[in-house]
Structures are given as structure tokens and as C-alpha cells.
Amino acid sequence: MRTKMRLNNDPSKLSLSPLVSNGISQMMSNPPRNEGSSAVSSIKSSAFGNHTERNFDVVKDSMGLAISLNKTESLDAVLDDFSEGYFSLSNENRKKLLLVLAKEYDLNRNQVRELLKQYLGLELQSGNEGESSNVDDGSVLFSAFYQIEKNLRQALKPTYDVLFERFNNHTGGLKFLSILRADILSILEHENIVSLRALEYFLKEKLSTWLSPAALELHQITWDDSASLLEKIVAYEAVHPINNLLDLKRRLGIGRRCFGYLHTSIPGEPLIFIEVALLKNVAQTIQEVLWDDPSIPEPEATCALFYSISSTQPGLAGINLGKFLVKRVITLVKRDMPQVSTFATLSPIPGYMQWLLSKLASQSVLAKGDNTEQPAGGSGSTFQENLLEPDEERMLMNSAPETCAGKNGMEVMLNLLTATNYEWTSSAELVSALKPPLMRLCARYLLQEKKGGKALDSVANFHLQNGAMVERLNWMADRSEKGLRQSGGIMVNYMYRVEHIEEYAQSYFSTGHIHASSDVRLYTMPQKEHEATAD
């Protein structure tokens, strides 16, 4: 049975919506995308089957019937008909239909306005001096308040709420709604359509309610699970691709654990799963976790290391199932293995190199005296600053080959990091010269660069909001092409100190404060203070 299981990391082999061009999420509430997932955009099928495209108006009418029908005995057939019709549509017609849903089945604002007028009228009447204080009059007045409030609550629900509720109670409906939201998110990546954004937000809130921890089953995924489930683990693994059967078996074998959240409405398919390595110490490189042999005997393990968290449903992006999963797994491991006292991650830093290259490019432009031009796609600074310490600049200028020469250290660094095939990693001298600035600027990126008061890096934000702290930066921890492209090969250990998880999560949520070890904070200190501390 196992030998027949096709191992590949091509999400296009799974049943996803053709509008989802980047379907596989990685590590967080709003995660980075898996390589190769653009293949999903070409698929014209889903878990609900392949169909010749139907007439748009027919599918539109089917949607209207799914919302308006009162006959319970016919509802399942109508919902099936609409979902099949939806999946038969081209990308353009799906977008057109979603806009109809967002606009024509929105709430009735004229009704809301009239109810508000009535409500305000009652407030004014009750506040007039000289009004009767008769108890009966007061009861009538409050009865009127309650009735209008009830009507307001109903009026503030958009009509498409009926469709969502019906699909949630329909076999396969939750999966359909997840794909529907994935399509909406795909459209919103390119166009900011207000009505569609309101539709997406409303659906997200509904899904968040329906996918509460109480509705999810924590399942330990083992080698004995069905081949179809294991195929999904292989295909959806978004952090460290599973290469072959032996690789998969190792990740599910002695010294390793894999847990996933399942939902009864999407049987046999984890919504999110986490991979755990049982170790003596916190690993510093992904090599130790994935390839170094042999695994230690489990009774000797004192550390549970989370090295991969992957979401399988693009339509659930932003719904933080991982938060609950991490905490549940910590509780379960503590119960089953009391000797394990350390809970940490070995995590990628997916946004670091993009941020750094943008900073270096913008500073290069400013150094040339052109303050108006900014690099495309970056968040370049409008202020001139030297990102390098004097010693770092000297080392880079002295070690750079002619092909990567520049007028200053930042230009040299930019040339080295953007050179093809990451040639700098093959030179011990260049690796030595780049390590100090890359590690220091990585600490700055993780601890100080923020968006909306929260960590700029998506994986950092995920773990920090869950109550972790930044424990250690690891140089050359992931030498894969992906690791070098995302973070120059640097990985980070986040530590979950059980006794402080809630405290750290609350302080991060309320003030944006990031807890970090003294070793990591040392990187962000000015050079003179750093040297004084070292002495």
C-alpha cells in the first residue's frame, strides 16, 4: 500500500480552487507561500468534481435559490447544484458571481437607516423632561427598544449569511466555503473591492466561529494512517519538502511526532499540522533535524522542537488555528513525556532578505543623490543611514571579489547577496565577512522592525502572539536554496517557556513588546556598548 503512494510536493495534484494561485500557507495566521503552488491556478477541478462550464445566469439563479429556498427537503440538492455550478465556471465568471453575491445580497442599508431613526426617536422621547414615570409606560417604552434592537441585529446581517449558514450545515459545505474564501482572497490580492472585502471579512468571522478548538480533533499522524492522508501531508508540507518514503517514515518514526487538527466536515484531511522532533538539546540547524542519524532514544529526550507548521487550506488564511495547535501539543507532550521540559522551534525567517535587500537598494539610491527613486516592491527608507558598522564595512571591502565590488560596504553587500547561485557561500572569507552584519541586522529585523506595532516578519508574529520569545539566531542553519533566498541561511529558535506563555502573549498583544534572550538583544546594541558588555 505504501509503495503505491505517490510522493510529490505538487499541490496541483490536490483538489483546490483554480483561483488559488498561491495555495499552501506556511507557519502563521498570514503565512508565506509554498514553491510551485502557482500550478494550482491551472486546475479546473475540485473535490466536488469536473464539469463543463455552465451558463453564468443559470449558476447565478442557482445561488439565489440556495439563499431563498424554504423547502428543507430540497435544500441539499440545491446546494449541491450551486456548488457544482460554481466549480464549473471560469475564473472570470467566478469573480463576476462573487461580486453579485457581495453586492446584491449585502445588508439592506435603507432598512438599517429607518430602524436607527426609530431608535433615536425613542431615545429622545425617553429623555424629555416631564415625561410620565408611570411603570407601565416605561415597560412599553423598553419593549419598543428591545423590538427595534432585535430588528436591527437582523437587519445588520447581510443576506449572504443565509448561504454561509446553510453550507456550514451541508455535507462538504465547510470545504466549499473555504475554497470560496480562497477565491475571494486571490481576487483581493490584485484589486481592493470594498464590497468583496466586506464579504471576505464576514466569511472569515463565520469560519473562525465554526472552527473553534472545541470543534476540532487533535490527531497524531502516524505511518499507520491511510495513504491518502499521508499523501496530503507530503503535498502540503510547506516548510521543508518531504523527498521520499524514507524521509516521510523518519518524520513519523521514533523520536518524531506529527499532529494535525481534523474537522468532521473535512474528513481525512488535516486543516493544519505540526512536526515535532524529540531531542536532547535545541537544534541549531535543520540538518540535525531532517538528516542526521540516528534519532536518540525517546526516554533521553528533554526538548520538543517544532520545526514545521503547515496549513492545508488557503481559504483559512488568517484564522489562527496554529495558536491552539501549538498549545495543545505542548500539553500533550508534557503529559506523555514528563522528562521533556524545553519547548522550542527551529523556524525560518521568510521576510528577512526581502527587507534587507530593499534597505540596501534604497540606501544605494540615496547615496547617489537620487532621493526620489525607490526600488520596486520595497519599503525603502527615505532617510540615509549606514547599515554597517565600521569593522563590518572594512571586512566586506577587503574580501569582496572584483565581480561584486562597490563604492561602499553596503553596495558590496548588495552585490554579494544578489549574485547568482549564492556564490558567497562557497568562500570562507566572504562567509566570515557577511556573518556579523547579517546576524546583527537579522536581530534588528526580528526585534525592531514592525508593522502596526507587531513584528514585521510573519513567522515571528505568529510565534510571538502565541507567547514565545526569541531565544537564539543560528548562522548557516538552512543552506538550501530557499533558506538562502529567504534569510541568508539564518534560522531562529523561538522558545515557549510554559510558565510565561500567557504573560508574553498578553504583553505582545497589548504593547507589541517582544521578549528576547540577552544574547539576541546583544546583536542590536551599538558597537561600543557591545564591546563594553563583552569586556
Average pLDDT (269-273) is 94
Instruction: Determine how β-strand 342-345 pairs with β-strand 450-451.
Output: unpaired
Chain centroid to Cα 425, Å, comes to 30
pLDDT at 345 over 70: yes
pLDDT band per the 50, 70, 90 thresholds, residue 528: low
Cell of residue 404, nine digits: 561584486
pLDDT for 413 equals 95
329 touches 321 (CB < 8 A): no
Residue whose entry in the numeric block shows the C-alpha cell 464590497: 195
What dotted CATH number matches 216-347? 3.40.630.150
pLDDT at 13 over 70: no
Active site residues: 347, 463
pLDDT for 31 equals 38
Residues of the chain with CATH 3.40.630.150: 216-347, 352-367+386-523
Cell of residue 527, nine digits: 558597537
Q: Name the architecture of domain 56-106+158-211.
A: Up-down Bundle (1.20)
Residues of the chain with CATH 1.20.140.90: 56-106+158-211
Span of 121-130, 263-272, 470-479 with lowest mean pLDDT = 121-130
pLDDT at 439 over 50: yes
Q: What is the mean pLDDT of the chain?
A: 85
Cα–Cα distance for residue pair 224/410, rounded to 1 Å? 53
295 touches 253 (CB < 8 A): yes
The pTM is what? 0.80
Q: Which residues pair with 238 in a beta bridge?
A: none
pLDDT at 327 over 90: yes
pLDDT digit string (tens) for 467-503? 999 999 999 999 999 999 999 999 999 999 999 999 9
Average pLDDT (43-54) is 54
pLDDT for 169 equals 93
pLDDT digit string (tens) for 186-208? 999 999 999 999 999 999 999 99
pLDDT for 163 equals 97
- What count of other Cβ atoms lies within 10 Å of the Cβ of residue 340? 18
Cα–Cα distance for residue pair 50/166, rounded to 1 Å? 23
Q: Which helix (H) or strand (E) holds 301?
A: none
pLDDT for 41 equals 35
Is 352-367+386-523 a CATH 3.40.630.150 domain? yes
Cα–Cα distance for residue pair 24/463, rounded to 1 Å? 19
